[in-house]
Amino acid sequence: MTAHFRRPREGTEKARIWRLCEELAAELGHEPTGRQVVDRYVAAGGNEATGFTQFSHWRKARAAADEAPGEPGDHERVLLEFGKDGALRLPESLRRAMALKPGERVTAFVEGGELRVIGMQAAIRRAQAIVRKYDRGTGSIVDELIADRRAEAARE
């Protein structure tokens, strides 16, 4: 029987440890060791056994996500904080939900007062959906566009 470790509910002690794991991974540039996580967690008043247990669950969830296909998905709402320099740091779980690879660029814009950040895969899917509306199923839409333009020019 394979256990499935889902992200703990925000505001819980478990979520605090998972967030600590992600922060350490971002600081180090690689996955932290259990000892690194637990030492920091215990220094903040946490229980060593709980720290090791949740580190193990976080690590297994991360490994399972690495094996899963990199498709954009959904994610629950999270509270983010701007740094003093104006930087906004996306937690690893959000980057995974957006199917972002390290170093990948994103498009960001404000719409109706909301900041929207779109990864490359989501932008491609959106563009494909728009183009699909105009596909008549008769072959290349590029050829169809050229034919439409030529017909339009001939009418003028």
Query: How far is the CA of 126 from the CAs of 118, 119, 123, in angstroms?
Result: 10, 11, 5
pTM of the model: 0.45
Residue 3 has pLDDT above 60, yes or no: no
Residue 1 banded pLDDT, cuts 50, 70, 90: very low
Residue 25 has pLDDT above 70, yes or no: yes
Residue 11 has pLDDT above 80, yes or no: yes
Helix-helix angle 13-28:48-67, to 10 degrees = 60
* Separation of alpha carbons 38 and 96, rounded Å: 24
Q: Do the Cβ atoms of 36 and 58 come closer than 8 Å?
A: no
Residue 31's identity, in one-letter code, is E
DSSP per-residue codes, 52-84:
HHHHHHHHHHHHHHHHS-------------B-T
Torsion, Cα 6 8 9 11, to 10 degrees, reads -160
For the chain, the structural domain boundaries read 13-67
Q: What is the pLDDT of residue 2?
A: 46
Range with lowest mean pLDDT among 13-22, 34-43, 133-142: 133-142
Residue 151 has pLDDT above 90, yes or no: yes
pLDDT digit string, tens, across residues 118-150 = 888 888 888 888 887 777 676 777 887 888 899
What are residue 92's phi and psi, to 5 degrees? -55, -40
pLDDT digit string, tens, across residues 59-117 = 888 877 665 545 667 777 888 888 899 888 888 888 888 888 878 889 999 999 998 89
